[in-house]
Amino acid sequence: MLILLITTGCGGSGDSGSPSPSPPVTPADNVLTITVNGSLCSANSYINKPCVSITICSPGTSTCQTISDILLDTGDSGIRIFKQVLTVPLTQVTSGSGSLAECIQYTDGSSVWGPVKTAGVILGNEPTVTVPIQVIDSTFGTRPVACTHALISPNDPSAGYNGTLGLSFFAQDCGPACRDNALWYYTCTGSSCTATTARLTDQVQNPVALLPLDNNGVAVQLPSVAAGGAISVNGYLILGIGTRSNNIPSGVTVYPANPSGSIPLPGGLSLEQGEFITLFNGITYPSFIDTGSNGLFFPSPTFNPIPTCSYPDLAWYCPDPTQPPLSFSATNEGYTGSPSGTVSFQIANFDSLMSSPNYVFSNIGGTNIGQFDWGLPFHFGRRVYIGIEDTGSSLGTGPYWAY
């Protein structure tokens, strides 16, 4: 997840530059509405923010609350909710004789810290699943030194949401790495917190992986957005792949993601777990697709660099506003180098777009070193499938993206 806040069918190669019309969505128990800067988002939302609502319950009870302004983040796994918005009691997950807590450090420099608690979770009208979630609480115990710039509340300048719903293709947020090594998780006794390992069943979990039927992945479908942007748009989060009549994929290409380990790439780069390949400007980059990133973040071409904006928007691209938006193309590949497909995209002047009343943009981007982040603009006009690891569908076995 990379957010820059502002103040105002398995197949071969193909061309994915112009998205095909997305299929109609039949409302059902497995469909959630996504509003990008719409009614499910808070009034102080930043640009390109996809919001959903979920229901959180005390485990094993009908004591529940429905929470909106939840950021849909397919670059993470699991649910994270600010303590300030929770009104139902949850059950603390233990670690030895202490309480389990977690620190997640994001690429934008912020982090979330807080205890891991068990909750009943309802997505759409699906059955309730009992799942460990993280309660974001910067005051819990003594926060580790390694957990820098921890978010304090939904109104934190680096947050702007009540919580996040992480629906990547991993069943847990850290998996075997944190089961075998003391990385993200901590055991806290009183105010003292010490790094620890965490069993898979105790880690923050992707709730979709625990559903009885629609547990093999999700699809995100958003409409196209005009070059000048829109005030808001509505789309769908569809649970399951090929499990119901409303989530049967057709005419898509599957791009497998690296399931584990590190794979060397040319130029000293490496393909880490959960990434695939993007070829851009003659360079092979590790890349990923992520609704939680509110722009397209990629390295500027070396020989014809894209101008960046003036302060305070230095990380955003600002090509000449008197000229048409810059047009680019890149080639996405599965982590083994196939299949491949071309993606065409545009980058407009960020500052000029910000002078409009709109909040949703398909052509904003910013700098990123050594990696290609296909953020929310990639999803406009597409249905993007995310296949959960070690589960199967007509598209194959996850982890994969398909579009």
pLDDT digits (tens, 9 = 90+) for 337-349: 999 999 999 999 9
Q: Are 184 and 114 in contact (CB under 8 A)?
A: no
25 pLDDT higher than 90: no
Which residue has 């990133």 as its token pair? Answer: 293
pLDDT (0 to 100) of residue 21:
58
Let me know: does 202 contact 171? Beta carbons within 8 Å.
no
CB 186 within 8 A of CB 101: yes
Q: What's the distance, Cα to Cα, between the start and end of the chain in Å?
A: 20
3-state secondary structure of 138: coil
pLDDT for 352 equals 97
The letter for the amino acid at 35 is T
pTM exceeds 0.85? yes
Q: pLDDT at residue 26 above 90?
A: no
* The residue count for the chain: 403
Provide φ and ψ at 177, rounded to 5°.
-60, -40
Find the DSSP H helices in 246-376.
350-354
- Do residues 59 and 130 touch, judged by C-beta distance below 8 A? yes
How high is the pLDDT of residue 389?
98
Question: Average pLDDT in the 307-322 region?
Answer: 95
Average pLDDT for residues 264-275, to the nearest whole number? Answer: 96
* C-alpha span between 4 and 47 (Å, rounded): 9
So what's the pLDDT on residue 164? 97
Which whole-number Å values give the CA distances from 35 to 24, 52, 204, 236, 357, in the listed order?
17, 7, 25, 8, 17
CB 249 within 8 A of CB 391: no
Domain regions of the chain by residue span: 17-210, 251-402
- pLDDT (0 to 100) of residue 88: 98
170-184 confidence digits (pLDDT tens)? 999 999 999 999 999
3-state secondary structure of 351: helix
- 350 pLDDT band, cuts 50/70/90, is very high
Residue 299 has pLDDT above 70, yes or no: yes
| pLDDT band at residue 4 under the 50/70/90 scheme | low
Is residue 11's pLDDT more than 80?
A: no
Q: Which of 169, 164, 124, 128 is nearest to 26 (CA)?
A: 124
Select from 296, 281, 279 the least CA-distant residue to 366: 296
Give the model's pLDDT for residue 378: 98
- What single letter denotes the amino acid at residue 345? F
Q: Tell me the C-alpha distance between 279 and 393, whole Å.
A: 28
* Strands 129-136 and 163-167, sheet pairing: unpaired
Average pLDDT over residues 10-25: 52
Torsion sign, CA atoms 217, 71, 367, 8: positive
Strands 365-367 and 296-298: parallel
Name every residue whose Cβ is closer than 8 Å to that of residue 128 and which is 6 or more positions away in sequence: 57, 120, 121, 122
Asked which of 153-162, 368-377, 385-394 is least confident by mean pLDDT, the reply is 153-162
Q: Would you say residue 8 has pLDDT above 60?
A: no
Q: What's the CATH class of domain 17-210?
A: mainly beta
SS3 84: helix
